Amino acid sequence: MPAQTAARRAAPLPLAIALVLLALIVLAPAAALAKGGGDDGGGGGGGGGSRPEVRVAGSCGRGATSTLKLKARDGGIEAEFEVHGRSRSAWSVAFVQERRTVWRGRARAAGVSHSFSIERRLGDYPGPDQVFARAVGPRGMTCQATATLPG
C-alpha cells in the first residue's frame, strides 16, 4: 500500500511540469515583444520605440480606396492617411484620436493616380492609441479608416 500512495503523489508532478512548459512556450513570444523584441529600426525610447507599425485598409465608396498607417516615433505617432479617388477634386479630411478631433484640413487629389496623402504627427498617450481618419470628397463620397497602435 505505501508504494501505491507514493505513485499517486508522483502522478500529478509530470502533468504540472508539462503545463508550466506549455505556458512558457505560449507566453514567451509576447514577453519578448513587451521587452522590445519587436524591431522598429528606431532603437527604442520615447513613446513606445518598439511598437509595431500598423497599416489598415479603409472603406470607401464609388471605387475609391484608402489606407491608414500609424507608427510610433520619437515620443509621438506618425499618422498617414492616403486616398486614391477617381477624380481630381478637393476633400475635407479629419484625424480623430481617442474621440477628439486633433486635425482638420483640406487636400486635393492630383496626378494621374487621383490621390492624396496627409501625414500628421499626433501625441502618444499611455496605452493603446486609436486613430480614426475620414475624408469627404465630391458629391459626398466618404473614405474612412480606424487603426489602433498597441501600447
For residues 41-70, give the mean pLDDT.
76
Check the CA dihedral 11-12-18-21 and report its sign. negative
pTM above 0.85, yes or no: no
For residues 61-67, give the mean pLDDT.
88
For residues 25-31, give the mean pLDDT.
44
Per the model's pLDDT, the better-predicted residue between 148 and 48 turns out to be 148
Residue 12 has pLDDT above 50, yes or no: yes
Angle at 48 between CA 45 and CA 50, to 5 degrees: 80
pLDDT in tens, 81-130: 999 987 788 999 999 999 999 999 999 988 888 899 999 999 999 999 99
Point out which residues pair with 65 in neighbouring strands.
84
Using the CB atoms, write b or e for 45-76: b if 16+ within 10 Å: eebbbbbeebeeebebeeebebbbbbbbbeeb
**Whole-angstrom Cα distance, residue 24 to residue 144?**
40
What percentage of the chain exceeds 90 in pLDDT? 50
The whole-number pLDDT of residue 88 equals: 80
Residue 7 has pLDDT above 70, yes or no: no
Looking at every residue in the chain, the average pLDDT score rounds to 78
**Whole-angstrom Cα distance, residue 123 to residue 54?**
16
